[in-house]
Amino acid sequence: MIVAQDGSGDFKTVQEAINQVPEANRERVVIEVRPGRYYEKLHIDKKMVTLKGEPGKTVITYDDCAVKRWPDGQKYGTFYSYSVLISGDDFLAEGITFENAAGPGSVAGQALAVYIDADRVIFRNCRFLGHQDTIFTAPLPPQPGSGGRFNSPREDFERRMGRHYFENCFIAGDVDFIFGSATAVFNDCEIFSYDRHVGYITAASTPQGEKYGYVFINCRLTGEAPPNSVYLGRPWREYAKTVFINTYMGEHIKAEGWHNWGSVEKEQTTYYAEYKSSGPGAKLDQRVKWAKILTDVEAEEYTIENVLRGSDGWNPLLVK
């Protein structure tokens, strides 16, 4: 199927094409999205869908945010702010820009570019543009930190662990802009931090007992934030896991590296580690004492295949 805004394809909007995929789809469906800015709040709920665009020219964008209000006056909150919600397993995107254009978090609050609640999800040569909470990798934690509800469109669905793979992608944000509970590998990606006084790249909520959380391999941490102003991560939940392997770190990365989110107890349960970090932000001798520097042997287990294999042997490098 071809989506083109000028009417030269089968559909003018991406959602129209998604809606044509069978509910119980079992064969890969490829949707070519021609260059343009598609202003859509998109829900991809069908399985085995591929979106193919032209890098930098095919943009799916929307501008909802946490402080926006429903007709009854209630705020949207974090999880209804998404531009694109992906809940169909085996989704693949190539050359697509996913954007939330609501603006800086200091004004708009949380504003998700993508909400990923699916398994075996792949992004290649994609761009993710937002500020606060750009990418959410579901599932949601078991319960909100302060009780009540998350106010999420996926709140009442089964909390399933997802595996997500990002290759050669550009991800921009300022606070907690990669967050959630999934196991995810970021391979050869550029992670760009905007200036937000104090920034945080990750906020993992890895469930207790999961071997892996977020793994960054051969990535580049860049940005416009001032020197020594951005943390590598802080734990959204007690057992957060985040590891950086062979990653270049710009001078915006804080010397201490990691933040405990105001909880000394989390220093005992989180797993934050690095291996062969480089660049002006790689001040490994100044990292917090409760973070880890991996040995050569320990680092060997952090391969794409090992991290994402799961019980079904999934290898995203073999998926076309």
Q: Which residues are catalytic?
A: 133, 176
Helix, strand or coil for residue 304?
helix
Rounded Cα distance between 94 and 212, Å, is 25
Q: H or E element: which one contains 287?
A: none
232 to 99, 191, 208, 258: CA distances (angstroms): 22, 11, 21, 6
Query: What b/e readout covers 146-175, taking b as 16+ CB neighbours within 10 angstroms?
Result: eeeeeebebeeeeeeebbbbbbebbbbbbb
Rounded Cα distance between 100 and 114, Å, is 8
Q: H or E element: which one contains 86?
A: strand 84-86
Rounded Cα distance between 183 and 209, Å, is 12
Rounded Cα distance between 21 and 40, Å, is 18
Q: Which two tokens stand for residue 38?
A: 């598609």
Q: What is the DSSP string of 26-52?
A: -S-EEEEE-SEEEE--EEE-SSSEEEE
240 to 30, 145, 234, 314: CA distances (angstroms): 35, 14, 8, 23
Bridge partners for 242 per DSSP: 214, 272
Beta strands across the sheet bearing 214-217: 2-3, 29-33, 49-52, 92-94, 121-124, 163-167, 183-187, 214-217, 241-245, 271-275, 292-293
